[in-house]
Amino acid sequence: MDFDPDGPASGGLFGLPHTPDNARVVVLPVPVECTTSSAGGTSSGPDAVLEASWQVDLCDPQTGEPWREGIAMVDAPEGLADEDAACRELSEAAREGDADALARIDALGERTVALTEAFTGEQLDAGRIPAILGGDHSVPLGAFRAAVARHPGLGILHIDAHADLRDAYEGFTYSHASIFFNALKLEQLSTLVQVGIRDYGTRELALATAEPRVHQWTDHAMAAHAHGGGTFRQLCERIVAPLPDVVWVSWDIDGLDPALCPGTGTPVPGGLSWREAMTLLEVLGQSGRTIVGFDLCEVGPGSWDANVGARLLYKLSGWAIASQRKA
Ligand SMILES: [Mn+2]
């Protein structure tokens, strides 16, 4: 392929020449955030990440030059952004109990879930690595369904400030705050490991404690380990230990220190530094487990947020590819 990885970039994701048909990782942008409870803007995240991706230098010996195997983004589903904008106008009414508004928002949630399920199934069946780029953290539920259906016993590594274990937050069935409550209804999901959690309700904590599939690392438990003299790598080894051989990574950018994602919808102090996040991915990627797909959600529209999001997308792509490159 006549492509200079050191040349100036524009056009495709990371400036790469690949099409979805000849790429190893295929990214679906899902500009939906109509159940977002505070600061908006993450529906513009995918466009901002695409633009920021042109600034990412492609050399990454750590994951074996992932760009060579191809990373491509498909177009956002037709009409989705417009319907999301219309639903955002209705979200206040829905919160106040307007049944029609609520029904329309739930319908968009259902459509989004169906879209990510169909896309993920298609890519997995073609032997590619699906990646969902949100939007808010309601959108990858369909991707979990498709991945679990093809890999019964799948585990999810979930990085987030929030547990997202609420039952129908604010009345919305497919709320960003409910995605793992909904995911736990998938009987073939074996394990949910949550990392960086620091903002959760009483019932969410009760569910995380009672549900044997959930292994929750709160931010303060992680800090206690570090401040007690443990190394971060040891902590990461403990974090990934309960995960089965096949893993989906679900990454809410607000799991990182908010200095790295100031424009995300619901930032919370604390969280993983960039170096810690990279070590966690490295420990997972080198553990022998297979990363079959991943999502990255809640990236804000600002250029710094998008810069961090694009770099995280590249690293996630790289480790997913590397995890599948074993003998
Ligand atoms: Mn979150």
Residue by residue, pLDDT tens for the chain (327 residues) are: 578 888 887 789 999 999 999 999 999 999 998 877 666 788 889 999 999 999 999 999 889 899 999 999 999 999 999 999 889 888 888 888 888 988 999 999 999 999 999 999 999 999 999 999 999 998 999 999 999 999 999 999 999 999 999 987 777 877 888 999 999 999 999 999 999 999 999 999 999 999 999 999 999 999 999 999 999 999 999 999 999 999 999 999 999 999 999 999 999 999 999 999 999 999 999 999 999 999 999 999 999 999 999 999 999 999 999 999 875
Say how many Å lie between the CA of residue 40 and the centre of ligand 1. 13
CA neighbor of 218 nearest in space, from 233, 232, 205, 202: 205
Domain that holds residue 170: 18-323
pTM: 0.96
Say how many Å lie between the CA of residue 18 and the centre of ligand 1. 31
For residue 161, the SS3 value is coil
Say how many Å lie between the CA of residue 265 and the centre of ligand 1. 8
Say how many Å lie between the CA of residue 201 and the centre of ligand 1. 13
Say how many Å lie between the CA of residue 205 and the centre of ligand 1. 15
Say how many Å lie between the CA of residue 112 and the centre of ligand 1. 18
Asked whether residue 92 is domain-assigned, the answer is yes
Q: Report the domain count for the chain.
A: 1
Asked whether residue 148 is domain-assigned, the answer is yes
Asked whether residue 11 is domain-assigned, the answer is no
The answer to whether the Cα torsion of 308, 313, 314, 319 is positive or negative is positive
Asked whether residue 2 is domain-assigned, the answer is no
Say how many Å lie between the CA of residue 269 and the centre of ligand 1. 12
**CB proximity list for 279: less than 8 A, separation 6 or greater:** 232, 233, 236
Say how many Å lie between the CA of residue 132 and the centre of ligand 1. 16
Asked whether residue 168 is domain-assigned, the answer is yes
Asked whether residue 10 is domain-assigned, the answer is no
Q: How far apart are CA 136 and CA 94, in angstroms?
A: 18
Asked whether residue 9 is domain-assigned, the answer is no
Say how many Å lie between the CA of residue 160 and the centre of ligand 1. 5
Task: Quote the DSSP letter at residue 167.
Answer: S
Asked whether residue 265 is domain-assigned, the answer is yes
Say how many Å lie between the CA of residue 272 and the centre of ligand 1. 13
Which residues line ion ligand 1, judged by CB < 5 Å?
A: 160-162, 252, 254
Say how many Å lie between the CA of residue 227 and the centre of ligand 1. 24
Say how many Å lie between the CA of residue 252 and the centre of ligand 1. 5
Say how many Å lie between the CA of residue 57 and the centre of ligand 1. 28
Say how many Å lie between the CA of residue 257 and the centre of ligand 1. 12
CATH of the domain at 196: 3.40.800.10
